[in-house]
Amino acid sequence: MSDRREWRGWYESLRKPDWTPAGSTIGAIWSLLYPIIIVVFGYSVFRVAQGTLPAGVLIPITLNVVANVAFTPIQFGLRSLRLAAADILAVLATIVWCMVALWPYAWFASLALLPYLLWVSTATVLQLSITWMNWPRRS
C-alpha cells in the first residue's frame, strides 16, 4: 500500500493541465475500453488461427499490447515522463496501424477501435503536456 501512496504522491506533485481528468474518470474510461480491445484483438487472433486473416495483423496488435501494458510501470514505477511519452506515442501509432491492418478484412473490428483511438489521442496530448510542463525534472 505504501508503494501506491508513493507513486500517487509523486503523480499529484506534477504540474498538469487544468483539463486533466480525475483518476476515477481515467479508470472508468479504461474499464469501458479494455473489453472492446480484448474482443477485437481476440477476434483477430481467432481469425488468424482459422486462416481467414493474415498473420501480419498480429504484429501491430502484439506491439500495441506490449506498449499499453508497459505504460504504467514506465510512468509510475520508473517515474519517467519522457519514456512514458515515447511509450504512449507507440500505443497511439500501433492503434492506427491495427485499424489500417484490419480494415480490408474486418472493417467493423477496425471501427470498434475508434473509442480506443480517441481516448489514447487525448491521453497522448495529456502525457505530452505533463512531460513538457515538468521537463526540468530528472524523469
pLDDT tens column, 33-55: 999 999 999 999 999 999 999 99
Q: Is the per-residue pLDDT at 1 higher than 80?
A: no
How does residue 2 score in pLDDT terms, banded at 50, 70 and 90?
A: low
All structural domains of the chain with their residue ranges: 22-133
CB atoms within 10 A of CB 131: 20
Please state the pTM of the whole predicted model: 0.92
Q: Model confidence over 49-74: pLDDT tens digits?
A: 999 999 999 999 999 999 999 999 99
**CB-based burial, 63-77: b 16+ in 10 Å, e otherwise:** bbbebbebbeebbbe
